[in-house]
Chains A and B, each alone.
Chain A
Amino acid sequence: MRYSGLRLLTQALTGNRGWTPAWRDPQPKRAYDVVIIGGGGHGLATAYYLAKEHGITNVAVLEKGPIGLGNTGRNTTIVRSNYLLPENHNFYEWSLKLWEGLEQDLNYNAMVSQRGVLNLFHSDGARNAAARRGNAMRLDGIDAELLDKEQVRAYCPLIDVDNGRFPVMGGLLQQRGGTARHDAVAWGFARAADARGVDIIQHCEVTGIDVEGGRVTGVQTTRGPIRAGRIGLAVAGNTSRLAQMAGLDVPMESHVLQAFVSESVKPLVDQVITFGAGHFYISQSDKGGLVFGGGLDGWNTYAQRGNLPVVEHVWAAGIAMMPSLSRLRGLRQWGGVMDMTFDGSPIIARTPVAGLYMTAGWCYGGFKATPGSGWCHAWTIAKDEPHRLNAAHTLERFRDGRLLDERGNGPFPWLQ
């Protein structure tokens, strides 16, 4: 069923009796050409692009719960491509371009809103770093603008640019960045993949990966064994555990990142603003809640809940940046478990086990990467070699010393 304004109108006038389920609920078959483990945005996007770009439609997406309830439902919905390293900003720029055409492509309203992403800076050193990053982006044709203090004041009047402790010197603005509706992204990819023949199998947990002679042959699941020639992992936060089922140790740790939403208020912040003197970033949802987050809790965990010291830091940083938030009440808080790599950049690659691929190690960058990750992962699975956009995002780069250390923090996952 194609969605359109006319369809909405006719359904509204006929009692909404004609809607059909957005995707089927199939029983798993005994064998597929490709099995994708993980029914979040990345897994569903991988399946969609496998079908659309490469004509591979005998594909199953296995999800242990309902789709989109992992990190796809636990982020702050920001999309942007303002990275320093060419390997990263070219990849994220391709993802951003996919976002720009996503709704027409999927025939689904993902509520992509290019409202602008502004990174504030508060010191000469941070200004130089922002200028360098902006210039690196512009060299590759990506939009970036350096704002001075008065331009920041005009762009978002609620920012306390004259803050006594952290006065704002300016900011790096990417106008094409913004936000999207996280659930709609999962649902849109699921519906579009299903329409091309992909089986989306929910409540099907993978309990083992079968490897014979160095090549994958299938998976063991709570709904029986499924044979597959190729397997893609898209299991943010649990990549270590799944890779170990195939006898593989990966350079990652699992950490929790918290996010928050406030009570709903009238339009207040119509951009995405990030604080430069502490971990804090904020935007406003269409429901009116302010959506914001901070940094990692900072120690290995698989628990999808945050802890109080970071709650305090995030709120304090937010109030330092926007004092008007101080009387706002928090509504909800949640945590998502992420694969943190040792250089802060993702892995979209083949693995040493033939037929096993992964899109993993997304650190903070998972949501904005959703379409690009699926697109590159699908390419890598279909052709058994990476696309040039993810050629540097290998598992072996740590062994080879070809790190993509965006921040230069050293090999410490909890500092990335």
Chain B
Amino acid sequence: MIRIDCPYCGPRDEVEFAYRGDATVRRPSADAPADAFYDYVYTRRNPRGWHVEWWHHAAGCRQFLKVVRHTMTHEVRQVAPATTVVDVPSE
């Protein structure tokens, strides 16, 4: 069970949220080549370690959040509003 400390609502259980995947990928500009869109849609680092990801607080404030979570321990290190620039921790 993951507990996500929503910056708007406080700590809530994962069941209130919808997962939306890797938050490090960026949509390319409209005139970017097809390969850039391929990478955006399909190529993932899929780390065994720290992962920055989107969670949508669907059953709460309905905000999109950036969550820094470890894919082995499931520890949540940081929860931030969607516009925050978040680095992927190395350790």
Q: Which residues of A come within 8 Å of B, CB atoms?
A: 238, 240-241, 249-254, 298-303, 307-309, 342, 398-399, 411-414
Contact = CB atoms under 8 A, between A and B. Distances in A.
A22 B44 CA distance: 40
5 contacts: A254-B48, A254-B71, A299-B53, A302-B48, A342-B41
B1 interface: yes
B41 to A, nearest CB: 5
Contacts of B19: 298-299, 414
B74 A240 contact: no
A58 B46 CA distance: 33
A309 B1 contact: yes
Given A301-B71, A302-B71, A414-B19, A309 B42 contact: no
Interface in B25-73: 34-35, 38, 41-46, 48, 51, 53, 69, 71-73
Contacts of A411: 41-42
Contact of A303 (B1, B15, B35, B72): B72
A244 to B, nearest CB: 8
Contacts of B71: 254, 300-303
A20 to B, nearest CB: 39
A246 B65 CA distance: 33
Nearest to A238: B48
Nearest to B37: A399
Contacts of A298: 19
A252 B46 contact: yes
B60 to A, nearest CB: 15
B2 interface: yes
A242 to B, nearest CB: 11
B42 A300 contact: no
Contacts of A399: 34-35, 38, 42
Interface of B: 1-2, 13-15, 19, 21-22, 34-35, 38, 41-46, 48, 51, 53, 69, 71-74
B2 A240 contact: no
Contacts of A412: 21
Given A300-B71, A303-B71, A398-B38, A308 B44 contact: no
B44 A307 contact: no
Nearest to A239: B46
**Dominant SS among interface residues on chain A:** loop
Most buried by B among A238, A240, A301, A307: A301
A309 B17 CA distance: 12
Nearest to A343: B42
A225 to B, nearest CB: 23
Contact of A240 (B34, B38, B44): B44
Given A299-B19, A303-B73, A240 B1 contact: no
A251 B2 contact: no
Contacts of A299: 2, 14, 19, 53, 69
A30 B75 CA distance: 41
B53 A300 contact: yes
A301 B74 contact: yes
Given A251-B42, A253-B44, A399-B38, A414 B21 contact: yes
B72 A302 contact: yes
A308 B1 contact: yes
A307 B46 contact: no
List the 10 closest pairs (A to B, CB-CB), nearest first.
Answer: A240-B46, A251-B42, A302-B48, A299-B19, A398-B42, A249-B43, A399-B38, A308-B1, A309-B15, A301-B71
Given A301-B74, A303-B72, A414-B19, A309 B46 contact: no
Most buried by B among A254, A299, A412, A414: A299
A238 B71 CA distance: 12
Contacts of B72: 301-303
A78 to B, nearest CB: 26
Contacts of B1: 307-309
Contacts of A307: 1-2, 14, 74
Contacts of B38: 398-399
Nearest to A339: B46
Given A308-B1, A398-B38, A303 B43 contact: no
Nearest to B48: A302
Nearest to A254: B46
A269 B46 CA distance: 39
